Amino acid sequence: MTIFLQSLDYQIWHIVVNGPRMPTRTIEGVVSLKPENEFNDNDFKMLQLNSKAKHVLFCAVGPNEFNRISSCDTAKEMWDLLEVTYEGTNQVKESKISMLVHEYELFLMHDDESISDMFTHFTIIVGLCHPD
């Protein structure tokens, strides 16, 4: 998905990762959001990129994921939610890695296991394929 978004427009990928730049104005040193009637062409372009990124993400996911991300306001929020859903938090990732390293270290062929079954089991542990 990363490469797909980058290939469409690298600015879209930038918005997915960093979030959109909201149009602001500074009056007497105070920064605030611009009212829409003060937006310039660049402001509209940046907001349009967020909408394009959201559209791409909506089109790329299935119905379950769509329901999960449909209430997000920005492409970054959508991406972050999908990332946690499919990759987990850093703690979850570390736990999965630890479990797989443990399985790898204890790996052996069982007496009732064929070579094909053993190879499938091994490739699942090292992440070359997914279990059925």
Tell me the pLDDT band of 105, cut-offs 50, 70 and 90.
Answer: confident
Domain residue limits, the chain: 2-87, 91-125
Q: pLDDT tens, 16-70?
A: 999 988 899 999 999 999 999 999 999 999 899 999 999 999 998 888 889 889 9
Q: Which residue has the tokens 């053993």?
A: 118
pLDDT score of 103: 82
